[in-house]
Amino acid sequence: MFLCVLLFSLVSSQDTQPNIIYILSDDLGHTDVGFTGGKIKTPVLDRMAGEGVRLTQQYVQQVCTPTRGALMSGRYPIHTGLQHDVIYPGEPWGLPLDEVIIPQILKEYNYSTHAVGKWHLGMHRYKFTPVQRGFDDFFGYYLGGQDYNTHVNGG
């Protein structure tokens, strides 16, 4: 399972806008967490789901790159060119740079933006990477199939 956690928080504590935590988890079944009736104990996620807003009517794509592109841009993958497959190592493409994405919009509202996990939206040029697309910082992998212990890309 690959996890991408997007954290958006306010720069000033005087603002009344909410903090936003958006969790996208590849290969997670609907009942693989406690708050949906699953047997796996997930007390922190359960508490967050109970105290926050749960988005329950979204659609995911067949693989992670189109899903992540849709999440970031708010557009169906067919409109971003990401509808077919994942981005493999060395491929010279990514989420188009003219697509305005979530962290860029939230910056206009004084949010700080952070991403943890898998990016998988392009990295063949630095301007396609998360910190160049609006995130203040990024901790994770640019591609999929990374081994968390060896840090070697397996596919």
* Distance of alpha carbon 45 from alpha carbon 34, whole angstroms: 8
Known catalytic residue at 64: yes
Known catalytic residue at 79: no
Catalytic residue among 79, 120, 124, 151: 120
What's the DSSP call for residue 78? G
Its sign, for the CA torsion 27, 30, 31, 34, is: positive
* Distance of alpha carbon 7 from alpha carbon 21, whole angstroms: 5
Catalytic residue among 4, 30, 64, 124: 64
Q: Is 27 helix (H, G, I), strand (E, B) or coil?
A: coil
Question: Catalytic residues, which ones?
Answer: 64, 120
